[in-house]
Amino acid sequence: MQNLHAIAYAVLTYRRLEGQEYDEECFANVMEALMNNYTEDEVVKIVYGEEGKQCC
């Protein structure tokens, strides 16, 4: 799981350097989901929400 956290942090750091915003609460929710072995579908639902709008 540490590798997933490192990858996600690297991606978000890159996005920040590129001037793209991301929602820190969404990032925290995704990290929690990854650490708790949520399915890919569950993680996608966290990222995109019920309406399909990307939050992070």
Q: For the chain, which residues make up each domain, given as ranges? A: 2-48
Query: Alpha helix (H) ranges present in the chain?
Result: 2-17, 24-35, 40-48
pTM of the model: 0.50
Chain centroid offset of residue 40 CA: 12
pLDDT tens per residue, range 42-53: 877 777 766 666
Phi, then psi, of 5 in degrees rounded to 5? -65, -45
pLDDT tens per residue, range 10-19: 777 776 777 7
